[in-house]
Structure 1
Amino acid sequence: MVDRLRFFLNRIKERLWIKPLAMCLLSTASVFLAKMVDVTEIGQIVPLITLSSIETLLNIIASSMLVIATFAVGSMVSAYASASSTATPRALSLVIADDVSQNALSTFIGSFIFSIVALIALQNSYYDKAGRFVLFVLTLSMFAIVIITFVSWVDRIARLGRVNGTIDKVEMATAAALQRRRLTPTLHGVPPGTHVPGGRAVYGSLIGYVQRVDINALQKYADKTAIRITVAGLPGTFAAPGRVLAYVTADLGDFTDIDICQIEKAFLIGGERKFYEDPRFGLITLSEIGSRALSPAVNDPGTAIDIIGTLVRLFALWCAPIKDNENIRIAECDRVEVPEICLRDMFDDAFTGIARDGAAAVEVMARLQKAFESLATIEHPVMRDVAICHSRLALARAESVLKIHEDIEVVRRLAKFGNSV
């Protein structure tokens, strides 16, 4: 339930209108709540605030906030376009979900609505002495919040959409997804048995990507109908008619009472992949940023080298020992079999594009070989074998493109670690 809630909260954060709407409602409510103090005895002790002083502040906010909000929207759209063109469009959802920018835009719009509604209430003699004092305090507070928000937001918008900032966001999202999958490698299900998946195949009726699999829903239905379900479509899998999402095996071999639609509903399918439950998507996004940096139009091998270092950190996190304060979650759904992510596929997602597009840049290939050597020394037998395999593939690509003998020898010398590890 917690994972489901977090998943949908992340989807809400990608909608720019949610927070501004909430702030507008809160601002309007605060204007009318200020009237409630008029029925109390506070009016006997608070100072008298003239209407002109409150109206002056509200007029300043009303005349300036709409302009600032328009400026904020323009700056954010420019940052989004920059993130799509300089990094990759796949990272746009993370840039849009930036909390500081959304909070700033919400504050500017909310303060504008607050000032308009408060002015209308004042000019219609809605408040008595206590209500005017509370409204005056609220107006001063709103003014201070706007100033603090604007100052902090200007510093943030200067970095929003830049390549380094986008890389950091993608790394954080990927690291969080890897950490969740590291602690729940089978998504609360059980590992598949040694048998080849069989039984009745469940196909998707929608075309898109699996964004989430509700393992608990599958478990409930499996308990109810005495079946076992083997998940074939992990988050990130392309779904289409003819592609299997799951296999169903009945304990008694009778499929007549099984509703395949109930199983299909457990697979949330959308038009694009999401970072939250799809660690491989984060690796692909980082690889795309590195490949774009190596294109002739950009020609920025330094960014590709930074990406390689980021990928090494992420794979080191994936293979890090479980700490005392980290517990691998016990499988709760014994009737749902879920395969783990294949490390070789993760390496293909992360390094193939950079090795292909950076084969002609000796500095990139040298750093790539150093990265593979670092990963090969991690105490993880599968990691070592996959790192050596990709090291040899990268060397082959470099040898087929590099024309200067000395450059080839540099890459060959660095790739020799595979013979001694």
Structure 2
Amino acid sequence: MSRLLLFLRRLPRQLWFRVVALSLFSLLALAMAPLMTPFLSDDLSDRFGREAVLPVLTILASGMLAVTTFSLNVMVSAYRTASSTATPRVYRLLLEDTVTQSVLATFTGGFVYALSAIILFRAKVYTPEAAVIVFGLTVLMVVLIVIAILRWIDHLSDLGSMDHTLRLIETRSRDSLQARKTTPCLGGRCHTGAEVPEGPPIPAARSGFVRVIDMAAINARAQDADVDVYLTRLPGEFVLRGRPLAIAPQADDDFCQAISELVDIGDVRSFEQDPTFGLTLLAETAQRALSPGVNDPGTAIEVMGRIERLLWETLPEDTDARDDDARFARVHLAPVTAAALLKASFPPIARCAKEAPEVLAWMDKALTALEHHPNAEMPGAVQDLRKSLLG
């Protein structure tokens, strides 16, 4: 995943992007209205002219401002509730809710459209024929707003609930796990820690979590320099500035510096290349449910059911990495093991479930089921985890 692709994937998930895009589209439609007047007949301007559209625009301008403000308050309140009942780290995931973003963008775009149209009418920019076009655009905007209100009403019944939060985490976790199932080593060659040769280390450019590794760019630079790069830090791991990110045998300082800049390091973890992050969020939600102040073992059991389903359906059956299929043959990194996925999922829940025997019983049942997974690593990883957790 290149930096440009990463930016393009993250951009539509930002609330401001949809709001700005729809607002600009509304202004563009108003600007093009005078250009469409030659296609109109003269009698339409008498029926659908300035006097017909101005009252509707006034209602939209005043109503959409109030609706947008109210919807923002509801959104923030629902997201804070979800963060307090599940895990604080889910707040960033909730901000990427596309339904909420689309609804708020429609409300804001309607307000910008109506207010701009009123200003243009008062400035006498529109001819009687152009007013007919504005009337048609206004009718279209009203239809979009009504659809947005219906979507918002339906979405509010679920927004901020535990079911919605868990479903959102599970969906993003499934996408990340499925991506690793397809490319277990992010398209590079897989290695174990013992296979990493000695060589000059590539230091981290800053302290934080490894978020995204630009495999294509690293492979291109490694091919040009005729050097192999062995990554020692996986996405989701924390690294300090100056500490080794990778090893590049026979590489010079300029090459190491260039490779270091191709690893995105941030303050928080992300889902793009980190399959354990979603499992960590699910485990944290179960921990919150098992806290003495909440005491909700049912939610912890539901979380373990989702974790069990994710691991069963997304863990690859074949654990042998085929180096012949590696798209980035010059880049080597370790695959995410079954033991690492289990470690991110069940131990945090087990530590908080000492006083909840029904939760521990369900965990034992889940581990027994996963022990029969066709993945060759899973049975041994389950047995080791059961010994350390359940005795």
Q: Fold match, TM over 0.5?
A: yes
Mapped pair 1:88 → 2:84: no
Q: Does 1:374 align with 2:374?
A: no
Shift of 1:195: 3.0
Closer/same/farther in 2, CA of residues 74 and 381 from structure 1, 3 Å limit: same
2:146 partner SS: helix
Structure 1 residue 4: deviation in Å? 5.1
Structure possessing the higher relative contact order (Cα contacts under 8 Å, 6 or more residues apart): 2
Secondary structure at the aligned position of 1:235 is classed as: coil
Give SS of 2:62's match.
helix
Name the structure 2 match of 1:333: 328
Distance in 2, Cα, partners of 1:303 & 1:317: 21
Q: Deviations over 1:182-222 (max 9, x none)?
A: 10111111122763432111111301111100111111111
How far is 1:393 from its partner? Answer: 2.7
Given residue 264 of structure 2, which amino acid in structure 1 is its aligned partner? L
Q: Given that residues 365 and 394 in structure 1 are in contact (C-alpha distance below 8 angstroms), is that contact kept between their aligned partners in structure 2?
A: no
Distance 2:59 2:253 in 1: 68
- Equivalence for 1:400: none
Matched residue pairs, number?
386
Partner of residue 260 from structure 1, selected from 236, 253, 256: 256
Q: Residue in 1 aligned with 2:183?
A: 184
CA distance 1:277–1:196, change in 2 (3 Å): closer
1:415 aligned partner: none
Which secondary structure state, in structure 1, belongs to the residue aligned with residue 224 of structure 2? helix
Q: Compute the RMSD of aligned alpha carbons.
A: 2.1
Structure 1 residues 45-83: Cα deviation after superposition (integer angstroms, max 9, x where no partner): 745323221011101101100000000110111011112
Partner Cα separation in structure 1 for residue 35 and residue 202 of structure 2: 59
Mapped partners of 1:5, 1:388: distance in 2: 43
Partner Cα separation in structure 2 for residue 328 and residue 136 of structure 1: 62
Partner Cα separation in structure 1 for residue 308 and residue 279 of structure 2? 11
1:14 touches 1:93 (CA, 8 Å); kept in 2? no
The one-letter code sitting in structure 1 at the alignment partner of 2:353 is G
Query: Quick one: distance in 2 between partners of 1:289 and 1:206?
Result: 30
Cα distance in 2 for partners of 1:137, 1:321 equals: 57
Partner of 1:205: 205
- Please point out which of 314, 318, 333 is paired with 2:314: 318
Question: Relative to 1, partners in 2 of residues 1:289 and 1:185: Cα closer, same or farther, differing over 3 Å?
Answer: same
Query: Mean Cα displacement is larger for which, 334-343 or 166-175?
Result: 334-343
Residue aligning to 2:225 = 225
Residue of structure 2 in register with 1:349 after alignment? 344
Q: Is the 8 A contact 1:301 1:364 kept in 2?
A: yes
User: What residue in structure 1 maps to residue 379 of structure 2?
Assistant: 384
- Percent identity reads 32
Alignment-derived partner of residue 134 in structure 2: 135
Cα pair 2:317 2:375 within 8 Å, conserved: no
Cα offsets for 1:103-158 (capped at 9, x unmatched): 11111111011001111112232222331111111111111211111121122123
Distance 1:312 1:387 in 2: 12
Change (3 A) 1:142 1:182: same
For residue 372 of structure 1, what is the amino acid of its counterpart?
L
Q: Distance in 1 between matches of 2:323 and 2:291?
A: 41
1:277 corresponds to: 273
Indicate how the Cα distance of structure 1 residues 105 and 232 shifts in structure 2: closer, same or farther if over 3 A, else same: same
Deviation of residue 335 (structure 1)? 1.2
State the TM-score, normalizing by the size of structure 2. 0.93
1:296 alignment partner AA = P
SS in 2 for 1:206: coil
Q: Please say if residues 225 and 258 of structure 1, whose CA atoms lie closer than 8 Å, have aligned partners that are also in contact.
A: no
Partner Cα separation in structure 2 for residue 361 and residue 107 of structure 1: 47
Q: Quick one: which amino acid aligns to residue 275 of structure 1?
A: F
- For 2:195, the equivalent position in structure 1 comes to 195
CA shift, 1:25, in A, is 1.0
> C-alpha separation between the residues in 1 aligned to 2:252 and 2:373?
50
TM-score by structure 1 length? 0.87
Map of 1:4-153 to 2, 5 A cutoff? 7-38=6-37, 40-44=38-42, 46=44, 48=46, 49-153=48-152
* C-alpha deviation, 1:26, in angstroms: 1.1
In structure 2, what residue type is equivalent to 1:182? K
Instruction: Measure, in 2, the Cα distance between the counterparts of 1:4 and 1:329.
Output: 26
2:278 is the alignment partner of 1:286: no
- Contact 2:317–2:376 (8 Å) recurs in 1: no
For residue 270 of structure 1, what is the amino acid of its counterpart? G
**Structure 2 Cα separation of the partners of residues 265 and 358 of structure 1:** 42
Q: State how far apart, in whole Å, the 2-side matches of 1:227 and 1:288 are.
A: 41
User: Given the alignment of the two structures, is residue 172 of structure 1 paired with residue 171 of structure 2, yes or no?
Assistant: yes
- CA shift at 1:8, angstroms? 2.4
Cα distance change on mapping 1:25 and 1:329 into 2, 3 Å: farther
Tell me the distance in 2 between the aligned counterparts of 1:78 and 1:329.
51
CA offsets per residue over residues 383-407 of structure 1, 9 Å max, x none? 11111222233323xxxxxxxxxxx
Q: 1:15 to 1:232 in 2, by over 3 A?
A: same
Amino acid at match of 1:227: V
Aligned CA distance change for structure 1 residues 160 and 41 (closer, same or farther; 3 Å)? closer
* Offset at residue 257 of structure 1 (A): 6.7
User: Which residue is equivalent to 1:418?
Assistant: none
| CA displacement 1:251-281 (0-9 Å, x = unmatched) | xxxx447432101011011110001211111
Gaps of 5+ in 2: none
Q: Any unmatched runs of 5+ in structure 1?
A: 397-421
